[in-house]
Amino acid sequence: MVIQPKFRNNIFMNAHPVGCAVEVRRQIDYVRSKGTLAGGPKKVLVVGSSTGYGLASRIVAAFGCGAETFGVAFEKEGSDKRPGTAGWYNTIAFEREAKGAGLACGSLNADAFSNEVKAETARRLKESSGKVDLVVYSLASPVRTDPVSGEMYKSVLKPIGKPYSARSVDMMTGQIKDFSVESASQVEIDQTVKVMGGEDWQLWIKALQEEDLLAPGVMTVAFSYLGPQMTYAIYREGTIGRAKEHLERTAGLLTERLAPLGGRAYVSVNKALVTRSSAVIPVVPLYISLLFKVMKEKGLHEGCIEQMRRLFAERLYSGEPAAIDAEGRIRIDDLELREDVQQEVARRWAQVRTDNFERLGDVEGYRTDFMNIHGFGVDGVDYDADVEP
């Protein structure tokens, strides 16, 4: 079939298999161009491995460190009638490239929140030699079913305490408009923490430890975001922020659990990027477009793959203990939050309107990234050609 992009309310409804494959190869080529990381991991589990930071970290582990990787993700397979999700095609492309390079890898397409998937992952990991020395937790989902009670929790993106009003943008039209979001109830806050906090991360480490699958000195890392003051009300001080705080506290508990192995758990606070999740957070697309323009002008811009290569090379596997902030977090949002960057973004934020948005913000760059993560708008791909979905 010929696959053209379909999107609604800043959400893509389809993906292009060839475009996704080209994007995966682009990330692989970048990592290869940086050379091999000495002292990197040998056997890596990535939970949430099909897109964004999870996919990028898997690529760095495999093609930058020569590691065996196993990925868990829950994606929709393509059929004769409709395309699959981007993550489905990314996983196929990664495995094809990794096996072609002689790198051991395996994947499981299933609900990572379930006990059964944890058990099956452990079984599969035992089939190969060696224990896991790095666990990357990069799961992003709007819902989670409790593996014991069977109760389904749903996350929400809302402020806490009072309604929130601000400006945002429809990135497909470039229209800047005001919006309002009602404050969250306590039930909504609690459920968001259940879905996006650290509980499932803990369950993964517990399951692996009980199966004696963790190597001495094992590290585990999950991802968070802090961002600037202008997005705090909807993000860091909202329901998602509560979940991220729980995730960050969980790192301390896991470090205690891993102490007998000489292991350590980290939360890496990363830069704002265009992802399937960030595209639907009010305020954030407008902020990101201004941020990208400023960081590109200053030669500081990074995407997912550049961030993960820097995380591995300069923090996790630099040969020195990872640099952390006062709360124990790794900070690779350091370039985003640099004072000169944030001052210029704030200046543009105060001025931006629909009629000057393309001058002040990186509209084209944002749209290109948004298209690329679904396999569209990728250079060298013939979008009028028939493809196998």
Concatenated DSSP letters of 310-336: HIIIIIITSSSPPP--TTS-EE--TTT
- Cβ atoms of 240 and 291 within 8 Å: the answer is no
235 is catalytic: yes
Task: Quote the pLDDT of residue 283.
Answer: 83
Specify the DSSP element, H or E, that contains 152.
Answer: strand 152-154
Catalytic residue among 235, 287, 317, 366: 235
Helix (H) or strand (E) holding 214: strand 214-224
Does domain 7-168+176-286+301-340 fall under CATH 1.10.10.10? My reply is no
Within 8 A by CB and 6+ apart from 299, the residues are: none
Tokens of 176: 């800047």
Coil vs helix vs strand at 389: coil
Q: What is the pLDDT of residue 169?
A: 83
Looking up tokens 């690529």 gives 59
- State the amino acid at position 357 in one-letter form: F
Q: Distance between CA atoms of 206 and 213, rounded to whole angstroms?
A: 10
Pairing of strands 143-145, 11-12: unpaired
**DSSP state letter for 12:** E
Instruction: In whole angstroms, give the CA distance from residue 328 to residue 313.
Output: 19
The Cα 137–Cα 48 span in angstroms is 7
Beta bridge partners of 152: 145
pLDDT of residue 173: 79
Return d(Cα 205, Cα 87) in angstroms, integer.
Answer: 24
For 179, residues 6+ apart whose C-beta sits below 8 A from its C-beta are 165, 166, 167, 168, 282
Q: Measuring CA to CA, how many Å separate 370 from each of 24, 127, 234, 311?
A: 15, 38, 21, 23
Q: For position 235, what pLDDT does the model report?
A: 87
Q: What is the pLDDT along the chain (389 residues), one digit of tens a residue?
A: 999 988 776 678 899 999 999 999 999 999 999 999 999 999 999 999 999 999 999 999 999 999 999 999 999 999 988 999 999 999 999 999 999 999 999 999 999 999 999 999 999 999 998 999 999 999 989 999 999 999 999 999 999 999 988 888 877 778 888 888 899 999 999 999 999 999 999 999 999 999 999 999 999 999 999 999 888 888 899 999 999 999 999 999 999 999 999 999 999 999 999 877 766 677 888 999 999 999 999 999 999 999 999 999 999 999 999 999 999 999 999 999 999 999 999 999 999 999 999 999 998 998 899 899 999 999 999 999 999 99
Q: How far apart are CA 295 and CA 307, in angstroms?
A: 14
Residue 68 CA to residue 70 CA, distance in Å, equals: 7
- pTM to 2 decimals? 0.96
CA-based angle 382:387:389, to the nearest 5? Answer: 135
pLDDT at residue 233, as a whole number: 86
Predicted local confidence at residue 179, as pLDDT: 82
CB 305 within 8 A of CB 30: yes
H/E run at residue 167:
strand 164-170
Q: Tell me the C-alpha distance between 60 and 55, whole Å.
A: 9
**β 175-181/164-170 pair status:** antiparallel
Give the residue among 222, 223, 219 at the shortest CA–CA distance from 259: 219
H/E stretch holding 358? helix 357-360
How far apart (Å, rounded) are the C-alpha atoms in residues 187 and 143?
14
Amino acid letter for position 179: F
**Tokens 């980290």 belong to residue:** 266
What is the Cα–Cα distance from 60 to 335, expressed in whole angstroms?
20
Residue 316 Ramachandran class (φ > 0 left, ψ -120 to 50 alpha, else beta): alpha
How much is the pLDDT for 279? 66
pLDDT (0 to 100) of residue 320: 92
